[in-house]
Structures are given as structure tokens and as C-alpha cells.
Amino acid sequence: MGISVPLQRRAGSGAPFSHAALVYAVPCVLALLALPFLSFRPNRIVSGEGVQVWDVAEGWGLVGTAALFVLAGATVLAGRQAARALLGFLGVALAMAVAGAGAKDLMADAPQFARVSLGGGFWLSCAFFALAAADALMRLDLRPLVRLAVAGFVAAALAAALASGWFDSLSLMQEYRANADTFAAAFRGHLILVGGSLLPALAIGLPLGWLCHVSSRARAVAVPILNILQTTPSIAMFGLLMIPLAALVAAIPELRRFGIAGIGVTPALIALTLYSLLPVVANTMAGFRAVPVETREAGRAMGMTRWTLLRQVELPLAAPVILTGVRIVVVQNIGLAAVAALIGGGGFGTLVFRGMGQTAMDLVLLGTLPIIAMAIVATILFDAAIDTMQRRRP
């Protein structure tokens, strides 16, 4: 939380990362050896028995295991970062393919309510392959547009894979099919919470940040208050906001017509907006403060008015830092919005908490994975935008 500076550009190094690559490859192999790849359960809520990766589906298991080990080793030995990235992505794809095939095989002659879930071996090996790929991409130091293209390609490949039906025997996909409507509503709800809190946060935070930049008195009042707001735990904030809103609605019942209520979307949006203020204000202040005094004076000497100076000089120079604040807020709110479900605010938290209530872990995952995906997508998009802005600068 708090202020963050934009990512520093690192010089791209083409050198192999020998030792560092081992940090991905070794745990990846260990996870595959030690942890079950899939788990077979008699029904949806009981814990099941693990299936090791070499035991899954006739043929797939042994060949798949060997290929995964080879890929893990290759990421260490690869001479070029691009090759390493490709190998990492191949590793993820192969692990997914093996899991899909294994699930299909296990479910072929299973009783009606049986389920096949993904195990720790699958998740960890996928995570380490993905990390190896991400690490390699980062060291390649790609241009923002190329980075977006790579991300778009990976997303498209993932979507195509999920749509292909290869994974339909997995419990996760069964949960999706059973909850497709809720899933769509949760996605909409989540977007509404994140987007709906961002706009007011910017409308209040940007002017407030500028005010705090020019007036030390405003800063002395606003910053401690925002600090306390940021300190309040999310559940507490959601809970506390219910009370005045419920009282307000009780006093003025007409408000109900506009969808304002003690529980639901309204308190969630207000809470998320309040949480967004500190990062926006802090980064706006930091952005303006970083504008060199000489630049400002040069502008003034050219006869610029205060407004022109702000619009044409200060704001463009402060923009990357301000945008970093916006990125922090969006990523933070994507996570916090999940908690909103506790007060009926909707979003993917609905699936998470319903899953916890039913001890159906795949339903929890169905709610959790899109949250993480959204956070990663937001990070990639914002980083590309911030990077573009910084590169444009002389």
C-alpha cells in the first residue's frame, strides 16, 4: 500500500540466468515428484486420493512426466531468454494437457458423483513454469506493444484451450457449468465494483492530491485521515458503512428507489472509493513534487498562466506517477471487491464464500482464479501504459 514509484527500467541482459533458473526448475520437478497431480474424489465435498503425474491416464502419464522433466531442465539450459520463455509456456500447456487427459480417463468409468480436482503438483509445476516464462520475458525487456501482444496471445490460447472441451471432466469446469449464470453475474458485479469505485476516487483524489501538493495545511488535514481510512480492515469498513447507510435509508425511504441500501452495492462502492483515495492522493502529490523547479520556472517565464502550466507542463510530467497510483488502486480494489460479497455487494466473492460455506474447494477456486487473472491483466495493461508514457519522454 502507499506510495509506489514506477518500475525502474533495467538494462536487458541476454546472459543465461543459470542459478536463478534452477530456482524455478528444481521446485517444479520436486513438486511433480512429491505432490499429487490430480485428486480423485467420490463426491464434490470430501477429500480424495491423490494421483501422481506418472499414474494419470494410460500413456499420457509416463510420456507427460518425462516431457515435463525435460522441459524443466531445458529452461535451465536454454541459451536465449526468448527460448526460455517459450519453454516455460510449453511447460504450462503440457501440464494442462496432461491434467485434462488424466481427468477424462479417471472420469470415464467413475460413479455418478465422482469429481477430479487439480492437485498441488499441477498447481506448483504450472506456477513455476509460468514464473520461468515471466522472468525470461522480463529480462528480454520488450517494448510495451510487444508485451501486450504476447499477453494477448497467451490469453487467447488459454481461452481456446478452455473452450475446446479438453478440460470438461475436471471438477473446476463442472462447477463452472453448474454456476455459469452466477459466474457471469459475478464478473459483471466485480467490474461494476472496481470501475464504479475508480471514477469517484479519481474525481475526488486527483483534485485533492493537487490541493495537498500546493497547500501544506490541506496536506496536514487530509493525509492523516486518509491514513486511518487505509488502516481500517476491509470487513470492518464494509460493516461500519452499513450502519449509517441503513439509518439514512430508514430516514429517507425514497432513496431505496435509487438502489441505495444498507447492504449491497452501495456500501461496497463507498468503501472501495475510500480505500482508493490514499494511493491516488499520495501518488498525485508525488508526481507533482517530482516536476523539476526549473521546468516550472521556465514555463512561468514563458508567460504561462497557472492553468496552462498545470495542463501543459505539470500534469503531463506527473502522469506516469499518477497512473502508477491508479494501477495500485485498481489491483487493490480487484482484491478487496471480493470481500464485498459478505455484505451482498456481488462480485466473484459470491462464489468464493459460497464455496467456503459448502466446503466445495473447486467452487472457491472458480471465484478465486478470475480475481487473480483480473489483477494480472490490470497490472499488465497499466504497466504497458506507464511504460509507453515514460518511453515517450525525451
Partner 1 sequence: MRRGRLIGLAVALALFLALALQPGLFTPLLSLLVEPGTPLVYTRQSLIALAVWHIAVVASAEAVAVIVAVALGILVTREKGAEFMTLARMTSNLGQTFPPIAVLAMTVPLVGFGFQPTFIALAAYGLLPVFENTVAGLRGVPATTLEAARGMGMSKRAILMQVELPLAAPVILAGIRISTIINIGTATIGSTVGAKGLGEVIIAGLQAGNAAYVLQGAMLVALMAVCFDLAFRSLERRAFA
Q: How far is CA 231 from the centre of its chain?
A: 22
The one-character DSSP state at 296 is H
Question: Total residues contacting partner 1 (rule CB under 8 A)?
Answer: 54
- Residue 364 is a binding residue for partner 1 (CB under 8 A): yes
Binding mask 87-106 for partner 1 (x = CB under 8 A): --------------------
Per the CB < 8 A criterion, the answer to whether 286 and 321 are in contact is yes
Written as nine digits, the cell of 267 is: 456500501
Who's near 330: CB < 8 A, 6+ residues apart? 194, 198, 378, 382
Least distance between partner 1 and beta carbon 253 (Å):
17
The yes or no reply on residue 223 touching partner 1 (CB under 8 A) is no
180 grid coordinates: 455459469
> Which residue among 26, 63, 243, 298 contacts partner 1 (CB under 8 A)?
243
Distance CA 337, CA 136 (A): 32
- Under the criterion CB under 8 A, does residue 367 sit at the interface with partner 1? yes
For 376, half-sphere exposure in the C-beta direction (CA atoms, 13 angstrom radius) is: 14
The set of residues, in sequence order, having a beta carbon less than 8 Å from that of 331 and lying 6+ positions away, is 375, 378, 379
Please report whether residue 386 would count as binding partner 1 according to CB under 8 A.
Answer: no
Strand partners, 121: none
Taking CB under 8 A as the criterion, the residue among 131, 150, 304, 381 binding partner 1 is 131
Can residue 347 be called a binding residue for partner 1 (CB under 8 A)?
no
Q: Would you say the C-alpha torsion 251, 256, 261, 266 has a positive or negative sign?
A: negative
Q: Which of 43, 164, 215, 227 binds partner 1 (CB under 8 A)?
A: 227
Judged by beta carbon, residue 197 or residue 309, the one nearer partner 1 is 197
The window from 199-207, 210-218, 293-301, 338-346 that contacts partner 1 (CB under 8 A) reads 338-346
DSSP code, position 339:
G
CB of 190 to partner 1, least distance (A): 11
Residue 335 interacting with partner 1 (CB under 8 A): yes
| Residue 57: closest CA among 104, 12, 23 | 104
Place of cell 506516469: 320
Quote the CA–CA distance of 173 and 104 in Å, as a whole number. 12
Nearer to partner 1, 321 or 343 (CB): 343
Q: Which residues bind partner 1 (CB under 8 A)?
A: 1-2, 10, 17-20, 23, 117, 120, 131, 134-135, 138-139, 227-228, 231-237, 239-240, 242-243, 246, 331, 334-336, 338-339, 342-343, 349, 352-353, 355-356, 359, 361, 364-365, 367-368, 371-372, 375-376, 378-379
